[in-house]
Amino acid sequence: MNTHPLTRRRLMALMPAALAPLALAACATSQGGAPGPGVAPQVARVEAYLRHVNLAEEPFTQVWPDGAHGGGVLTYRPGALDMQYTAPHAMELRASGHHAVFTDSQSGSETRIGLAHNPLGLLLDDPVRLSGPVTVTDLHQGGGFLQLSLTRTDNPSQGLVTLRFRDSGTSLTLYEVHIVDERRQVTLITLTPV
């Protein structure tokens, strides 16, 4: 585990990736390309999951683009995300609608970030819609998992979010989020069940 402290400048450089919570590496699949017409039921399942899920204080770990590690607890419900970091030190990300606020208790800084052009914004509509302004670029399933990649329809270069779910056949459980920001920096967030 990387234990060097995050400076405010270094943290700000990583901020877009850290926010977007939320993949090119995750999307590297054997088939590639846009999903075909047969995936509509699976997209509908993911959309329903994101519209009704209520993750409360789920433990998570995060790997930033430079390999630094952190973690804490995450709370997500349609339209809102709260990430309380305990490592590498106390920090908080609160996001809802079109804005996010990042607070670093170590430096005392507070940063406000617009989400209209940030991949994290893909997951914060209420209700979440995986059509229209959001495009599903890739979908794979099998072996008890389902993976879905999302981007903005009008500007896919703004980032890509890949969600990985455990799939029991009757229910989905989110366990990993890969985010690629507009600079192609990859952030990985893994939910770690207790």
169 is written with which tokens?
């056949």
Q: Exposure string (b/e) for 41-79, b if CB count within 10 Å is 16 or more?
A: ebbebbbebbbeeebeebebebbbbeebebbbebebbee
Q: Average pLDDT of 83-91? A: 96
Q: Which residues contact 44 (CB under 8 A, 6 or more apart)?
A: none
Q: Shortest CA distance to 24 belongs to which of 149, 131, 112, 136? A: 149
The Cα–Cα gap between 104 and 121 comes to 21
Please write down the long-range contacts of 180-184, taking CB distance under 8 Å and 24 or more positions apart: 180/20, 180/23, 180/24, 180/25, 180/119, 181/16, 181/17, 181/20, 181/118, 181/119, 182/16, 182/117, 182/157, 182/158, 183/16, 183/17, 184/24
Write down the mean pLDDT value for the chain. 82
Of 94 and 28, the structure prediction assigns the larger pLDDT to 94
Q: Which residues contact 128 (CB under 8 A, 6 or more apart)?
A: 47, 50, 51, 78
pLDDT of residue 38: 64
- In percent, the amount of the chain with pLDDT more than 70 equals 79
Predicted confidence (pLDDT) at residue 21 exceeds the cutoff of 50: no
Q: Average pLDDT of 56-70? A: 95
The Cα–Cα gap between 175 and 145 comes to 10
pLDDT of residue 112: 95
Q: What is the C-alpha R_g of the chain?
A: 16
Given pLDDT bands bounded at 50, 70 and 90, which one contains residue 5? Answer: very low
Query: pLDDT digits over 106-116, tens only?
Result: 999 999 999 88
Task: Give the least confident one: 6-10, 151-155, 177-181.
Answer: 6-10
> Is residue 191 within 8 Å of residue 176, measured between CB atoms?
yes
> Is residue 161 within 8 Å of residue 149, measured between CB atoms?
yes
Given pLDDT bands bounded at 50, 70 and 90, which one contains residue 68? Answer: very high
Q: State how far Cα 40 lies from the chain centre.
A: 22
pLDDT of residue 41: 93
Query: pLDDT digits over 32-54, tens only?
Result: 445 566 689 999 999 999 999 99
Q: Is 52 helix (H, G, I), strand (E, B) or coil?
A: helix
